[in-house]
Chain A
Amino acid sequence: MAHSDKDFALPIQGYVQWPVGTGDSTTVCMSDDMVMQIDVHHLAMSEEDGDPHTPIVDRLVQHLPKRGKRPYLSVFVLTHPDKDHCLGFEKLLKEVEIGELWFSPRIFREYKKDLCPDALAFRKEAVRRVQKTIQAKGDVASGDKVRIIGYDDLLKEEEYREFPRGCFSIPGHEVVEFDGVDLSDRCRVFLHGPFKDSSEEERNDCSIAMQVRLDVEGACSYLMFLGDHCYPTVKRIFELSDDEDVKWNIFLSPHHCSKSVMYWRDAGQESESLKQDVLDLIEGAAQNPGYIVASSEPIPGSNQSGDNPPHAKAKARYQEIVPTDFLCTQEHPNSEQPHPIVFEATRNGFVYLKPTKETQQKTVATLAAAASTARGSSAPPSSRVGFGEK
C-alpha cells in the first residue's frame, strides 16, 4: 500500500488528489468538519504492501472528521458511474457516514449489466434516498439526502414528479448548501454539466462538471473538475460561462490526462487534429498559482495509437499552458512512493504543500543532447564489419 505519512491530516480548507492510479479520487475540505469527496477508486492491489496506490477508502476512514464514532463525509459526488470513478463505493458506504449524495440522472438510465458492482451499489443507495426524499417531501436528515444534477426528461416521469426542486440542480446553478449546512461564506460550487442534450450520449459526456470555490477571509481558490468530458464539451463550458465561473487554480485534467480534450477529429476529417482554441480558453482562465493535475498512472514518454489515457501529448499541451506546474498523482513526488497532492486554501491564496520527499528528477534529455544525437557522432564504428567481393 502506498506510504502513509504519520503526520498527514486533511487541510481545514483545501484539496487533496490521491494517487489511485488511472481513476479519480478527489477530496475537497470545505471546513474542519465538512468534507466533499468526488469519485472514488479503491484498487484491491493498493492494500498490498509496497504497492504505490492509495487504498483510498481506508485513508478516508482514517482522516475524515468524526461524527460520534463513525467517520463523516458530508457529500459524495459521483461524476459518472464508470468503474474508475466508483470503485470501492460499497466499502465506503459501509464504513463511513455519507451525509448527501450527488449524482446525475444518468445512473437510472443505465442497464444493470453495464454497471459494475460498486455502481450498482451506488444506484441502490441513490434510489433508496430518492424515494425517501420524495416521501418526506425533501425533509430528510443527513444520511438520506440527495442532490440530482443535470437535465433529464426522466424526472418528468410519473415516478419522479414529486421530487422536490430544492434537491435538484442544473448546469448554471450554484450550490452553497451541503448536507443541509449553509457554507456560503466558505464554499461555492458552480455546476457546469451535464448538458441537457447529452443524456443520450456516451457516459463520459454525461459527467457532472463543476467549479469549486473556497473562500478564506476573502481570498478565493478555484478548482475545476470536468469529469471525463472531451473537447466539444470542455470548449463549450469555457465559451459559454462567465469568467468568474471558469477560473481555476487547480485544473483536474479531464479523463485522466486524455488527449481527447485538445485533439479532436472533426466531422469529415480523417484524423484528429490539435485544437488550439480550447487550450487558449483553458489558459485564459488560469489563475496564479495555477496547477494542472493528472489523476493517473505515470505518464509515458509517448503513446501508441489506441492507448488509453494518460496520453503524453496531452501532458505536453498542458505543460505549455500551465502557469506554475503540471502534476501527476502517481508520479508525485516520485513513482516509487507517491504522496497525495495537497493544497491548502489560506487567506494568502492557494498554497501547495510540498512533500518532504525528493521530487523525481526525470532525466529529460537536453536539447543540446538531442541535437548531438541527431547530428550523429563522427567516431569510427566500434564493432568489426566485413566486406568482400561477393
Chain B
Amino acid sequence: MEAGPRTALDQVRAMAATAGTPLELLEFEETDDGALAFQISIDCSGIPSVPDGMPLRPRERFHVLVGRDFPFEAPRLLVSHSRFLGYPHVYWGYYLCLYQAPETEWNPSDGIFGFMERVDLFLRSAAAAQLDPIGVPMHPPTTPASKRNDLPTIIPKANAPLTMGEIWFGFASIENVSKRRVDLTGWKSILDEDWPEEPAAAAVLLNKPLSHQFPSKIGELIGELQKRGVSRNMLILLLRCALIQCEKDMPLFLIIGAPMRGVRGAEEPKQHLTSWWIDAETANALRLAMPKTSDSEELRSLRSDYEEAYFKVLEQRSIHWCPLLEDRPEIIVRRDKDTVASWFHGKTVAVWGCGAIGAQIAESVVRAGVARLLIYDNASVKPGVLIRQPYDDLDVGLYKVNALKERLQRIRPDLVIEANVVDVRRAVLDREDWSDGADIVFDATASRAVLAKLEFARKKNFQRVPIASMVLGPRARRAMLLVTGAGHSGGPFDASRSAKLGLLNHQQGRTFLEDFFPQTPPRPFQPEPGCSEPTFVGSYSDVASLSHLMLNAVPEILGAIHPSEAEARFYYPSEVDVKALAEVRLHIEGRLRSDDPASGFEIRIGRMAWSEMEKHIDRSSSRFGEHVETGGILLGERDESLGIMWVDEFSGPPTDSILTSTEFVCGVKGTRELHEKRSGSSLGSIRYIGMWHTHPESLPVPSSTDVRAMAALASETGGLLAHSLMIIIGTPFEKLALATYAFSQSELLQRVFRRTCVVTFPPSDLTDGPRSERADVGGVAIRFLRGVFKKR
C-alpha cells in the first residue's frame, strides 16, 4: 500500500479506537492501483433530523475511497444503497459530494481527521435539510453521463419561454457553432404561425419537476414524461415535427425542460434543460415510420406496425444525454456580480487610445458586459509593443483598433464594437458630440495635446459625460488617474492642474510631481522603433496592474463624487521604499464659472478663492463702511489658446491702496513679491493675472473709471495678445453679483471696448449662509448692452 493510503488507514483506526467513538472500521482493501477502499459504520443516532432532511438510520455504513495520492487529493464518500437518491449533493444516488470547491476546501495537512469532520458536518446538515437552505440556489438535477464521448455540447443562450404553468411544446433554434458545440439561440412555440426556418431541435418544457436523477433508459423517460402529462403520442408527434425540421441522415435533438432550478423558496422555479441526442440512424428509422398523405391504407398500417415494433426496441436502449453548459441570463449568475467592474455592465464606453493602457481597459469592460464599445487609435502594432501591450505576433502591421476589435469580438460575439483608425484630435474632438453618447469616456492617449483640445472642445460643446484620463509615469512605476464628474467645471486638463496644485500642498506629493509635472524634461529617452511612444519604460505586469488598478477606481469614484466634482488619484503600488505612500487621493471641487463672451474667455474661480474674496469684502466693509470700494490683485493662470483663466486667489487691497466710496485705487506694495512667491511655490501655475474690485450697491458693469484703469495697465503688462482679467463684484441686491472681463492688449491699445456683460449670482456664504449643497453655478444671467465708450 502506498504511504498516503496507509496513513489514512492509521488515522481511521485511531479514530475508531478513541473512547466512545461513533466510528467503526468494518473492512478495508487495497485496490489494484494502490488506492485504499474501506468501509465504515457511523453512529448517527445523535444527529437531529427534520422530516424533510436526508433520512439517516441509527447507524449508517459508508464506503471511503482514498486515492493513492492522499493526502494531496481528497477522499471520496459513497454509499451502496439508493436511500439518499434525490437529496442535495448526492449524485447518482450513491456519491456524496462533500466539497463544493475541493481546491480551497480540502486541507491535505489534516488528512482523514479533517475529512471525518467534514462528513460529520455534511450528515448533520443533510439530516436537518440544511444543505440547500431557502434562499440558496437549488441543486440542479443530474443526468447520467452518456457513454459516448462524441456528443456535441449544448449551450442554451436564450432564456426559456414563459410557460404560464402549462406544458410547452415547440422548437429551439440551434446554431451549429462547431462540431462539438451547438448553441440554442431562440424558442418558438408549436402554436406559432411560423415555424423556424433555420435548423431547430424539438422541445418540450414540462410544468412539473422530474425526479432528481434523470432517467437513463428511453423507456424510463417515456414513462416519466407520461406521468407528467406528455403522452407517448404527443412525444411521437413532437419528434415528427423535429424530423420535418431536420434533414435526412442528420441526428435529432430533443430538448426536455423541467422546472427545477432557481432559488429555493423564491419565485417560480426556472426550467432545467437537458438535451436528448438521437443518432442519425434512429432518426431515419423514425422518419420511415411517419405516415404520408399519399400512403395507401396498407402502407399506413405497415408504418404503424413498424413504429410499434421499433419503439419496443428503442425503449430498452440508453438515452444519450448531451453535455449541457448553461449560458442563459436567467440561470447564470455573473461571477463579477457585486464587483466594482459590474458598473460597466450594459453601458456604452468610449476608449481613446488602444495602447498599453487603452487595450487593457477595452478588454476589461468587454468582459464586464459593456453593451457598446467605441475604440479609437490611429497607430499600428509594432513588434516592440508586444512586450507590454496585449497584441499578438500576427497583429504586427495591423492597426491596433482592428486587431483589438477582432480579439474582443471573439470574447463577446454579441457585442457592438466600433473601431476607428483616426486621430482623436480631429475625428472626435472636432465633432459637436465628441462623447459618442457614451456613459463614460476613457482617455488613454497619454497625449497632452488631446487633453488640451478636449478641454477646448468641452468648453465649446459641453457634453454631460464623465471622463477618466489615465497616464503612467516614465518608468511605469507610478500612475495618475483623473476622473471628472459629468458636470465638473472642467475636463481632465483642468483637473490635472488642480491635481498639481493639490500635490504641491501634499506631504507625499513630491515624487508624483516629479513624474507627472516635471519642471525639467527627464533624461532623454531613446525612442526605439519598438516602443509605441517615447513616453515610458515598463513591463506588461507593471502596465497591466496599474491600468486595472486605475480602472477599478473609476466606478468607485463616480459613485462617491458629486457630478460637479472631480478626483485625482496617484498610485505607487510596489516597491522597495516602504515609507512611500501607495496612494494619494485629491478631491477637486468644481469652480465657479463666469464667461466673457466678447473675448471668448471662460473664467474659473476656485471656491476657496471666492470665500476669501467675500471675507475681504466683509473686513473692508466693517473697517471702512459698506459703501467703500475695495479690491486687490488676482492670482491664477491663463491659457490663451484654450481661452480659459483660472482664478486661485483674490488678494486683499495692497497697503498703499486708496479705498473710497467712489473709487478703489489698487496699490502696488507687495504685489510683485506676492506674485513671485506664488509662482515659485506653484511651479508657475499661480501668477498675477489681473485685478478685482467691488461696486457696492451697483451692478458689476465697468465704469469709465474702470476702463481708464485697464487702459493704463496696457503698457505695463506685456504681450500684444495677452489678456488681462478684471473682475468686478457688485452688490446691487442682497446677493453678490459677479462679472468678469478679459481685455486683450490690442483691445486696450485700441481703446474701444464693446461688451455684452454677463452677470451671475454665484452662491455666497455671506448672504446665503453656509453652503449646504453644492450646485453648479446657478443664478440668473442678466445681459444688457452697454454702448461703445471711449477713453477720455
Q: CA–CA, A364 to B21, complex, Å?
A: 8
Minimal beta-carbon separation of B339 from chain A (angstroms):
35
B6-50 residues with Cβ-Cβ distance < 8 A to A are 11, 14-15, 17-24, 26-27, 41-43, 45-46
Residue of A nearest to B110 (CB): A375
Q: Does A322 contact B (CB under 8 A)?
A: yes
Q: Does B615 contact A (CB under 8 A)?
A: no
- State which of B18, B110, B121 has its C-beta within 8 Å of the C-beta of A370: B18
- State which of A301, A362, A363, A367 has its C-beta within 8 Å of the C-beta of B117: A367
Residue of B nearest to A319 (CB): B59
Cβ contacts under 8 Å, B656 to chain A: none
Known A319-B43, A364-B45, A375-B113: A370·B58 in contact at CB below 8 Å:
no
Are B113 and A362 closer than 8 Å at their CB atoms?
no
Q: CA–CA, A301 to B17, complex, Å?
A: 12
Are B41 and A316 closer than 8 Å at their CB atoms?
yes
Task: Mark contacts of A313-325 with chain B using CB atoms, 8 A cut-off: 1 yes-contact digit, 0 otherwise.
Answer: 0001101111101
Cβ contacts under 8 Å, B60 to chain A: 320
Q: Does B248 contact A (CB under 8 A)?
A: no
Q: Does B57 contact A (CB under 8 A)?
A: yes
- State which of B15, B43, B45 has its C-beta within 8 Å of the C-beta of A371: B15
Minimal beta-carbon separation of A289 from chain B (angstroms):
12
Q: Does A274 contact B (CB under 8 A)?
A: yes
Residue of B nearest to A326 (CB): B58
Cβ contacts under 8 Å, A364 to chain B: 20, 22, 43, 45-46
Residue of A nearest to B81 (CB): A283
Are B114 and A371 closer than 8 Å at their CB atoms?
yes
Cβ contacts under 8 Å, A372 to chain B: 113, 117
Minimal beta-carbon separation of B369 from chain A (angstroms):
43
| Chain B interface, DSSP helix/strand/loop, else mixed | mixed
Task: Mark contacts of A360-390 with chain B using CB atoms, 8 A cut-off: 1 yes-contact digit, 0 otherwise.
Answer: 0111111110111111000000000000000
Task: Mark contacts of A245-289 with chain B using CB atoms, 8 A cut-off: 1 yes-contact digit, 0 otherwise.
Answer: 000000000000000000000000000001000000000000000
Minimal beta-carbon separation of B583 from chain A (angstroms):
40
Are B61 and A320 closer than 8 Å at their CB atoms?
yes
Minimal beta-carbon separation of B760 from chain A (angstroms):
73
Cβ contacts under 8 Å, A370 to chain B: 15, 18, 20-23, 116
Minimal beta-carbon separation of A171 from chain B (angstroms):
31
- State which of B11, B42, B45 has its C-beta within 8 Å of the C-beta of A374: B11
The residue among A301, A319, A364, A371 with the most chain B CB atoms within 10 A of its own CB is A371
Known A319-B58, A320-B41, A362-B46: A367·B18 in contact at CB below 8 Å:
no
Q: Does B533 contact A (CB under 8 A)?
A: no
Task: Mark contacts of A134-148 with chain B using CB atoms, 8 A cut-off: 1 yes-contact digit, 0 otherwise.
Answer: 000000000000000
Minimal beta-carbon separation of B443 from chain A (angstroms):
57
Q: CA–CA, A320 to B24, complex, Å?
A: 12
Q: Does B190 contact A (CB under 8 A)?
A: no
Residue of A nearest to B18 (CB): A373
Are A367 and B59 closer than 8 Å at their CB atoms?
no
Known A371-B113, A374-B11: A301·B59 in contact at CB below 8 Å:
no
Are B20 and A301 closer than 8 Å at their CB atoms?
yes
Q: CA–CA, A322 to B56, complex, Å?
A: 10
Are A320 and B59 closer than 8 Å at their CB atoms?
yes
Cβ contacts under 8 Å, B114 to chain A: 371
Known A325-B58, A364-B46: A316·B24 in contact at CB below 8 Å:
yes
Known A301-B20, A370-B15: A319·B116 in contact at CB below 8 Å:
no
Cβ contacts under 8 Å, B61 to chain A: 320
Cβ contacts under 8 Å, A323 to chain B: 57
Cβ contacts under 8 Å, A363 to chain B: 20, 46
Q: Does B119 contact A (CB under 8 A)?
A: yes
Are A368 and B11 closer than 8 Å at their CB atoms?
no
Q: Does B432 contact A (CB under 8 A)?
A: no
Cβ contacts under 8 Å, B59 to chain A: 316, 319-320
- State which of A301, A321, A362, A366 has its C-beta within 8 Å of the C-beta of B120: A366
Residue of B nearest to A373 (CB): B18
Q: CA–CA, A364 to B14, complex, Å?
A: 17
Are A365 and B21 closer than 8 Å at their CB atoms?
yes
Minimal beta-carbon separation of B396 from chain A (angstroms):
59
Known A367-B120, A371-B113: A322·B20 in contact at CB below 8 Å:
no
Are B45 and A362 closer than 8 Å at their CB atoms?
yes
Task: Mark contacts of A78-96 with chain B using CB atoms, 8 A cut-off: 1 yes-contact digit, 0 otherwise.
Answer: 0000000000000000000
The residue among B17, B57, B112 with the most chain A CB atoms within 10 A of its own CB is B57
Cβ contacts under 8 Å, B27 to chain A: 274
Cβ contacts under 8 Å, B121 to chain A: 368
Minimal beta-carbon separation of A310 from chain B (angstroms):
15
Cβ contacts under 8 Å, B113 to chain A: 371-372, 374-375
Residue of A nearest to B112 (CB): A371
Cβ contacts under 8 Å, A301 to chain B: 20
Cβ contacts under 8 Å, A322 to chain B: 57-58
Are B20 and A367 closer than 8 Å at their CB atoms?
no
Cβ contacts under 8 Å, B43 to chain A: 316, 319, 364
Minimal beta-carbon separation of B210 from chain A (angstroms):
25
- State which of A320, A321, A365, A375 has its C-beta within 8 Å of the C-beta of B22: A365
- State which of B11, B57, B58, B119 has its C-beta within 8 Å of the C-beta of A367: B119
Minimal beta-carbon separation of B11 from chain A (angstroms):
7
Minimal beta-carbon separation of B66 from chain A (angstroms):
16
Q: CA–CA, A371 to B123, complex, Å?
A: 15
A320-342 residues with Cβ-Cβ distance < 8 A to B are 320-323, 325-326
Cβ contacts under 8 Å, B18 to chain A: 365, 370, 373-374
Cβ contacts under 8 Å, A365 to chain B: 18-22
Task: Mark contacts of B380-404 with chain A using CB atoms, 8 A cut-off: 1 yes-contact digit, 0 otherwise.
Answer: 0000000000000000000000000
Residue of B nearest to A274 (CB): B26
Minimal beta-carbon separation of A360 from chain B (angstroms):
11
Residue of B nearest to A312 (CB): B24
Minimal beta-carbon separation of B654 from chain A (angstroms):
78
Q: CA–CA, A326 to B41, complex, Å?
A: 15
B55-87 residues with Cβ-Cβ distance < 8 A to A are 57-61
Task: Mark contacts of B297-319 with chain A using CB atoms, 8 A cut-off: 1 yes-contact digit, 0 otherwise.
Answer: 00000000000000000000000
Are A366 and B46 closer than 8 Å at their CB atoms?
yes
Minimal beta-carbon separation of A331 from chain B (angstroms):
12
Cβ contacts under 8 Å, A317 to chain B: 41
Q: CA–CA, A364 to B56, complex, Å?
A: 15
Residue of B nearest to A320 (CB): B59
Cβ contacts under 8 Å, B19 to chain A: 365, 373
Cβ contacts under 8 Å, B24 to chain A: 316
Minimal beta-carbon separation of B652 from chain A (angstroms):
73
Minimal beta-carbon separation of B462 from chain A (angstroms):
66
Are A374 and B46 closer than 8 Å at their CB atoms?
no
Minimal beta-carbon separation of A258 from chain B (angstroms):
17
Task: Mark contacts of B115-130 with chain A using CB atoms, 8 A cut-off: 1 yes-contact digit, 0 otherwise.
Answer: 0110111010000000
Cβ contacts under 8 Å, B17 to chain A: 374
The residue among A363, A364, A372 with the most chain B CB atoms within 10 A of its own CB is A364
Cβ contacts under 8 Å, B58 to chain A: 319, 322, 325-326
Q: CA–CA, A325 to B57, complex, Å?
A: 7
Q: CA–CA, A274 to B27, complex, Å?
A: 10
Q: CA–CA, A15 to B20, complex, Å?
A: 33
Cβ contacts under 8 Å, B45 to chain A: 319, 362, 364
Residue of A nearest to B120 (CB): A367
Residue of B nearest to A283 (CB): B81
Q: CA–CA, A319 to B26, complex, Å?
A: 14
Minimal beta-carbon separation of A122 from chain B (angstroms):
36
Cβ contacts under 8 Å, A274 to chain B: 26-27
Between A and B, 12 residue pairs with Cβ closer than 8 Å are A322-B58, A323-B57, A361-B46, A362-B45, A364-B45, A367-B42, A368-B116, A368-B117, A371-B116, A372-B113, A373-B18, A373-B19
Q: Interface of A with B (CB < 8 Å)? A: 274, 301, 316-317, 319-323, 325-326, 361-368, 370-375
CB-based closest 6 A-B pairs: A319-B59, A367-B120, A364-B46, A319-B58, A374-B14, A371-B113
A373-B15, A373-B21 given; 9 more Cβ-contact pairs under 8 Å: A320-B41, A320-B61, A362-B45, A364-B46, A367-B22, A367-B116, A367-B120, A370-B23, A371-B113
